[in-house]
């Protein structure tokens, strides 16, 4: 049972990590938490559900559809809710934060209107297929979730570290003014970041649908909260922190149920986070802000 | 002056006679008892499916009752959104501003735990149609229910399932943050202990949880003969579906929350093998049930579920009592309701016991081939 629970935990954790990545990317360049990310993620799940379960298209197409819709939503979010506030005299970062909260409330209610309140079945054609890996039975869905999230995370890490675009993004995240002086189109980089983050949220949404079989218009809120906890735990703005934090939270939640009491699932998972933060307030991979005690 | 007064008196007596005769002539008609009844239900948010069925059932009954003309009911429907504080605010509005004679609802036992005391303190009869947890009518003498409590339904379903499948070892799974699912679990545990079943594990989950794999992996590894699960339909259907995909094929015995066609709608094939006890069976061979189902289907385009049927019967029980009371008076209505015995409704013969709780016979059903059938 240990190995099976390990697989469950890593799968859950990699989904958490995917959600957290979207937050951390945007935080890196904009220094704000995009509160609408959870709802964009939820829309990704619904687009995936409509395509895969209702329209019956193959899964890769459902992924592309979710990426397209959530990417476009990210673009609109940046253009309509973030850019108009940026650099305006008197508008602090808090203004953009509130703006994203507004978008998140709007999106949740739009989803309620469009899709209703209840659970929606997310069908995947191969949901019943399981195969043995060593002593454990792994379902194909779990394997696929792991594979997709690992590929995406590796791709993101490679893009950030090896390409010109990734370099520009990192420079923008480091210092937006200097990056602009050095000839980087920072507005464009910010748009690209928000679009990528949203598209990753869309992929995470489809993965959640596949993993849990069901989605409703509240998942944005519950998964979003987990994602927020993870980026604080992993270190604000750190890509590797989001990945590690997600997996650790997924594993601890699963093992609390497996070997402890299922009633304390969330409580114990978050106590672990608090304990880590007491030792490393900047998070697992976070850099201490200059002038703070570590 | 005097002459004018006399003339007025004469005129009014003529008028009075005319009115009197006019009223008398067609047939001796009793003025219907006019009353305003409040309804608190979940119209929006999680569990809105319950509220939809309940208000549909009540509206159908209201139209029937008003058409008959013995009572004339004005309904005031309020939304609780499944939240205790909102349910309480709705109750206060109904009791104090709308001056209702009685309240039907709220939907969840959780909500009744806060609304019941308020209504009881104000002397307003309140009747739960879906509140099945323990101790609901013990809140006070103005609190009634016609929802079959879990403490009667669960022993019936477990008893039958144990006999049929020879169940010896069970796993228990329940939502630990809801009065209703917790009370269902307490009954399941009690019944398991009385029947000397071996409880392999007790697993808990919280409302709105999406991933049950950790709990289910643990249950699967212990190989129980059956899973007793106390959950509302949203979570219940997800649990069933995830359990079947993980290879847990044993029967599930559910509480009342499972007893909704929505479980089959959401879980599809995975719902097969689910056993529930219910006061309501839509395919029951009874002319009264058939007439109700036909009327409901015509009005709302779907078959009534348990919640619609219970709400429908509750409204009739209440208006019958109102008729007996003869006036829209809260105390007289309460006494008349408490005296209800052998009411013949779509749920079968129904009576209140001395504690205003349900006396009736449950039916045990099993899901087979995507349909609820009578469990033999």
Nearest by CB: B217 against A8, A118, A119: A8
Is omega for the bond preceding B106 within 30 degrees of 0, making it cis?
A: yes
Contacts of residue B188, defined as CB under 8 A and 6 or more positions apart, other chains included, come to: B154, B158, B172, B174, B228, B230, B253, B255
* Residue A89 banded pLDDT, cuts 50, 70, 90: confident
Secondary structure (3-state) at B229: strand
Task: Report the candidate in A22, A31, A112 with the shortest Cα–Cα distance to residue A71.
Answer: A22
- Residue A294's pLDDT is 41
Interface check for B213 against chain A (CB to CB < 8 A): the answer is yes
For B259: left if phi > 0, alpha if psi spans -120 to 50, otherwise beta; the answer is beta
Each residue's pLDDT tens digit, A165-206: 889 988 888 888 899 899 999 889 999 999 999 999 999 999
Secondary structure (3-state) at B312: helix
Calculated CA dihedral for residues B148, B149, B154, B155, nearest 10 degrees: -90
* Residue A29 banded pLDDT, cuts 50, 70, 90: confident
Cβ of A113: how many Cβ atoms within 10 Å?
9
Interface check for A277 against chain B (CB to CB < 8 A): the answer is no
Question: Exposed, middle or buried: residue A180 (CB in 10 Å: 0-12, 13-18, 19+)?
Answer: middle
B237 to A4: CB separation less than 8 angstroms, yes or no: no
Domains with residue ranges and CATH for chain A: 2-119+135-279 (1.10.3470)
Q: What is the DSSP letter of B268?
A: G
Domains with residue ranges and CATH for chain B: 33-148+285-361 (3.40.50.2300), 151-278 (3.40.50.2300)
Number of helices and strands in chain B (H, E): 12, 15
A1 to B237: CB separation less than 8 angstroms, yes or no: no
Interface check for A5 against chain B (CB to CB < 8 A): the answer is yes
Contacts of residue A88, defined as CB under 8 A and 6 or more positions apart, other chains included, come to: none
Across all residues in chain B, what is the average pLDDT?
88
- Taking CB atoms and an 8 Å cutoff, what residues of chain A touch B241? 121, 213-214
Can you list the alpha helix ranges (DSSP code H) found in A87-235?
93-115, 140-162, 164-174, 176-181, 186-212, 219-234
- Rounded to 5°, angle at Cα B70 from B68 and B76: 85
Each residue's pLDDT tens digit, A70-86: 999 999 999 999 888 88
Task: Report the candidate in B312, B309, B251 with the shortest Cα–Cα distance to residue B281.
Answer: B309
Confidence check: pLDDT of B144 > 60: yes
Give the integer Cα–Cα distance in Å for B127 and B311.
10
How much helix, strand and coil, in percent to the nearest 5, is found in chain B?
Answer: 50, 20, 30
Tokens 């385009």: give the residue.
B301
Bridge partners, A131 (sequence order): A138
What percent of chain B is modeled with pLDDT above 90? Answer: 60
| Chain center to CA of B313 | 9
Across all residues in chain A, what is the average pLDDT?
87
Confidence check: pLDDT of B1 > 80: no
Bridge partners, A242 (sequence order): none
Cβ of A245: how many Cβ atoms within 10 Å?
30
- Rounded to 5°, angle at Cα B219 from B214 and B223: 145
A119 to B237: CB separation less than 8 angstroms, yes or no: yes
Average pLDDT over residues B133-153: 89
Each residue's pLDDT tens digit, B3-24: 565 655 555 555 555 455 554 4
- Residue A293's pLDDT is 43
More confident residue, A86 or B185: B185
Give the integer Cα–Cα distance in Å for A273 and A177.
34
Backbone angles phi, psi at B329, to 5 degrees: -120, 125
* Residue B291 banded pLDDT, cuts 50, 70, 90: very high
- Taking CB atoms and an 8 Å cutoff, what residues of chain B touch A257? 203, 214-215, 218
More confident residue, A216 or A67: A67
Q: What is the ipTM of this complex?
A: 0.73
Which two three-digit tokens encode residue A244? 């590690």
Contacts of residue A32, defined as CB under 8 A and 6 or more positions apart, other chains included, come to: A26, A93, A96, A97, A100
* Residue A266 banded pLDDT, cuts 50, 70, 90: confident
Interface check for A282 against chain B (CB to CB < 8 A): the answer is no
A127 to B245: CB separation less than 8 angstroms, yes or no: yes
Secondary structure (3-state) at B248: coil
- Residue A32's pLDDT is 82
Tokens 């399941």: give the residue.
B188
Confidence check: pLDDT of B2 > 70: no
- Residue B299's pLDDT is 94
Confidence check: pLDDT of A92 > 60: yes
Give the integer Cα–Cα distance in Å for B165 and A239.
53
Average pLDDT over residues B282-290: 88
Number of residues written out for chain A: 294
CB B156 within 8 A of CB B85: no
- Residue A3's pLDDT is 85
Can you list the alpha helix ranges (DSSP code H) found in chain B?
2-24, 48-68, 84-92, 109-121, 150-165, 179-194, 213-222, 233-245, 261-267, 287-300, 306-325, 330-338
B208 to A218: CB separation less than 8 angstroms, yes or no: yes
């Amino acid at each position: 049972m240990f190995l099976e629970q390990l697989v469950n935990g890593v799968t859950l954790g990699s989904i958490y990590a995917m959600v957290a990545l979207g937050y951390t990317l945007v935080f890196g360049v904009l220094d704000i938490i995009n509160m609408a990310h959870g709802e964009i993620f939820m829309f990704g799940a619904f687009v995936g559900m409509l395509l895969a379960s209702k329209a019956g298209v193959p899964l890769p197409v459902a992924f592309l559809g979710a990426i397209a819709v959530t990417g476009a939503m990210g673009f609109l979010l940046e253009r309509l809710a973030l850019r108009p506030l940026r650099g305006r005299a008197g508008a602090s970062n808090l203004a953009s934060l509130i703006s994203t909260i507004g978008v998140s409330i709007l999106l949740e209610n739009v989803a309620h209107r469009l899709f209703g309140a209840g659970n929606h079945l997310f069908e995947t054609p191969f949901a019943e297929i399981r195969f043995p890996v060593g002593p454990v039975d792994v379902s194909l869905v779990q394997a696929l979730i792991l594979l997709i999230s690992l590929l995406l995370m590796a791709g993101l890490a490679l893009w950030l570290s090896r390409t010109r675009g990734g370099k520009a993004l990192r420079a923008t995240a480091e210092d937006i003014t200097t990056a602009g002086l050095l000839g980087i189109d920072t507005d464009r980089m910010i748009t690209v970041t928000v679009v990528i983050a949203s598209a990753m949220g869309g992929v995470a949404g489809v993965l959640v649908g596949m993993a849990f079989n069901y989605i409703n218009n509240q998942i944005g809120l519950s998964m979003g909260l987990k994602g927020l906890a993870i980026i604080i735990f992993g270190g604000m703005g750190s890509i590797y922190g989001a990945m590690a934090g997600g997996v650790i939270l997924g594993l601890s939640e699963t093992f609390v149920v497996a070997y402890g009491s299922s009633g304390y699932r969330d409580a114990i998972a978050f106590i672990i986070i608090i304990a880590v933060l007491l030792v490393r307030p900047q998070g697992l991979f976070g850099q201490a802000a200059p002038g703070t005690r570590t | 002056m005097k002459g004018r007064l006399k003339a007025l008196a004469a005129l009014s007596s003529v008028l009075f006679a005319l009115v009197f005769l006019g009223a008398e002539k067609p047939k001796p008609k009793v003025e219907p008892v006019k009353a305003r009844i409040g309804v608190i239900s979940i119209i929006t948010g999680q569990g809105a499916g319950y509220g939809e069925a309940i208000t549909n059932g009540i509206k159908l009954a209201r139209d029937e009752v008003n058409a008959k003309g013995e009572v004339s009911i004005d309904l005031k429907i309020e939304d609780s959104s499944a939240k205790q504080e909102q349910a309480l605010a709705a109750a206060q509005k109904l009791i104090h501003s709308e001056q209702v004679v009685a309240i039907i609802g709220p939907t969840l036992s959780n909500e009744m735990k806060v609304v019941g005391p308020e209504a009881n303190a104000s002397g307003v009869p309140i009747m739960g149609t879906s509140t099945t947890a323990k101790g609901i009518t013990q809140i006070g003498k103005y609190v009634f229910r016609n929802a079959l409590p879990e403490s009667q339904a669960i022993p019936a379903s477990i008893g039958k399932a144990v006999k049929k499948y020879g169940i010896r070892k069970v796993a228990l799974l329940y939502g630990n943050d809801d009065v209703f699912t917790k009370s269902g679990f307490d009954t399941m545990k009690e019944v398991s202990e009385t029947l000397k079943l071996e409880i392999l594990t007790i697993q808990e989950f919280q409302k709105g949880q999406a991933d049950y794999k950790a709990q289910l992996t643990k249950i699967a590894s212990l190989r129980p003969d059956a899973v007793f699960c106390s959950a509302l339909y949203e979570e219940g259907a997800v649990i069933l579906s995830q359990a079947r995909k993980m290879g847990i094929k044993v029967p599930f015995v559910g509480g009342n929350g499972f007893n909704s066609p929505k479980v089959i709608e959401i879980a599809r094939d995975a719902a097969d093998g689910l056993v529930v006890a219910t006061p309501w069976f839509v395919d029951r061979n009874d002319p009264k049930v058939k007439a109700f189902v036909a009327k409901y289907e015509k009005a709302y385009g779907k078959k009534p579920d348990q919640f619609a049927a219970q709400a429908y019967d509750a409204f009739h029980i209440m208006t019958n009592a109102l008729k007996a009371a003869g006036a829209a008076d809260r105390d007289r209505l309460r006494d008349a309701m408490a005296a209800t015995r052998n009411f013949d409704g779509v749920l079968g013969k129904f009576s209140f016991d001395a504690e205003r709780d349900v006396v009736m016979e449950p039916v045990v059903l099993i899901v087979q081939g995507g349909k609820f059938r009578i469990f033999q």
